[in-house]
Homo-oligomer: A and B are copies of this chain.
Amino acid sequence: MGGTGSTRNERDSRVPARAGALVAMRATHIFGAGDIRVIDVPDPAIQASTDAVVRVSRACVCGSDLHPYHSLAPTTEGVSIGHEFIGVVEEIGADVTTVTPGDFVIAPFAVSCGVCEFCRTGLQTSCVDGGFWNDGQLGTTGGQAEAVRVPLADGTLVAVPGVTASTDETLLASLLTLSDVYGTGWHAAIRGGVTPGSTVTVIGDGAVGLLAVLSARQLGAARIVLMGRHELRTDLGREFGATDVVAARGPEGIAAVRELTAGGSSIVLEAVGHLPAYEQAVGIVRPGGVISRVGVPQYEEAPVGFGSLFGHNITLTGGPAPVRAYIERLLPAVLDGSVQPGRVFDRTVSLSDTPTAYKAMDARQALKVMVRP
């Protein structure tokens, strides 16, 4: 794979040598709305001394991947996609010190240096040198692929000792959620200020919403209302800790939650990202309460004036989850099996079948699909 790095074999003779540097690999690209293809692309290589190359063990499709799947303008070259993966470090740059070839790692959905002001305070998504896998800025490629170049590997990757690519499938699934959805649900709950005894309403029965339920439960919420209409999902939500499910939405759903919570929910976790979900949040939040958003907003303007947020001192918070900040906190219960966030995966496809994963999630036939390269 070339570059400035040392290969795993220089450091760990137990690991079999690769047959030779790949010159091409398979990777998922999006060519426009509804048009997902798995194509040949150049193999990733170390470009900077702080890079690592990670061979992907498991990746998956995110609810936010469906946004370009719905709306991307056609492009002849395609755009690399996927931002959640776990895998094995294959090669590292000369300055990488915290991971070594052969390490099993979780890759958070944001690249972060680990040392800037924002990384130090747990806001790795605002890292001054970081970015997202597919934002073009870092020249990185997506995780729904055989391998990925990871910039700023020391700040970004988290090694998980004792785990390998052939570890128990249930555990791998749960580890994979730490790259995004579990940490994102946790972020919603943390930003929402969930503490023991809280009353929380979660809007959205997607993987993030369900893991926001799990997170709220872990943080001690006493009452967790889940707003969702897909029964298989809300059933899982109940297993994760939801005490009530409201299938109605709009004014009817708002009225139902306001009645259940005797006047509104002090904490609302919004895990959808569409404007009606925001409006629903405004409708059900209690005076003085908090709306914590983690669904990527598909709108720029929204009501914030006297009649929506201001009049009753509603706080609006949230954003892209700095999942890197939460992995150490969440990992032990995942490793010992006391939580199983990986239960959000209800289908697994091979890399070549990634297009069917998008179709199934878009049609809500699958909650969340794992991709096995």
* B118 close to A288 (CB less than 8 A): yes
* B316 close to A304 (CB less than 8 A): yes
* A303 close to B301 (CB less than 8 A): yes
- List which A211-236 residues lie within 8 A (CB) of chain B: none
Of B126, B287, B308, B315, the contact of A287 (CB 8 Å cutoff)? B126
Q: Please judge, given known A-B contacts A297-B310, A300-B307, A310-B296, whether A288 and B123 are in contact too, CB under 8 Å.
A: yes
* A305 close to B311 (CB less than 8 A): no
User: What are the residues of chain B within 8 A of A297 when measuring CB–CB?
Assistant: 304-306, 310
* A313 close to B318 (CB less than 8 A): yes
The complex places the Cα of A191 from the Cα of B305 at a distance, in Å, of 17
User: Number of A residues whose C-beta is below 8 Å from B?
Assistant: 35
Over the window 264-308 of chain A, the binary record of Cβ atoms lying under 8 Å from chain B Cβ atoms (1 yes, 0 no) is: 000000000000001000000001100001001101111111111
- List which A80-116 residues lie within 8 A (CB) of chain B: none
* A305 close to B310 (CB less than 8 A): no
Q: A350 within 8 Å of B by Cβ?
A: no
* B313 close to A315 (CB less than 8 A): no
* A315 close to B312 (CB less than 8 A): no
* B307 close to A314 (CB less than 8 A): no
The complex places the Cα of A191 from the Cα of B312 at a distance, in Å, of 13
The complex places the Cα of A308 from the Cα of B310 at a distance, in Å, of 18
Q: Which has the most chain B C-beta neighbours within 10 Å: A191, A293, A315?
A: A315
Q: A245 within 8 Å of B by Cβ?
A: no
The complex places the Cα of A123 from the Cα of B126 at a distance, in Å, of 33
Q: A320 within 8 Å of B by Cβ?
A: yes
Q: A354 within 8 Å of B by Cβ?
A: no
The complex places the Cα of A302 from the Cα of B303 at a distance, in Å, of 6
For A317, the closest partner residue in chain B by CB is B315
A interface residue numbers (CB < 8 A to B): 118, 121, 123, 125-126, 191, 278, 287-288, 293, 296-297, 299-320, 322
A sample of 13 more A-B contacts (CB under 8 A), given A293-B310, A304-B304, is A125-B312, A125-B313, A126-B313, A191-B313, A296-B306, A296-B310, A297-B305, A302-B305, A304-B316, A313-B320, A314-B319, A316-B317, A317-B317
Q: List 30 A-B contacts (CB under 8 A).
A: A123-B287, A123-B312, A123-B313, A125-B312, A126-B287, A126-B288, A126-B312, A126-B313, A293-B310, A296-B310, A297-B306, A297-B310, A300-B303, A300-B304, A300-B305, A300-B306, A301-B304, A301-B305, A302-B302, A302-B304, A302-B305, A304-B304, A304-B316, A309-B316, A309-B319, A310-B319, A312-B319, A313-B319, A315-B315, A316-B316
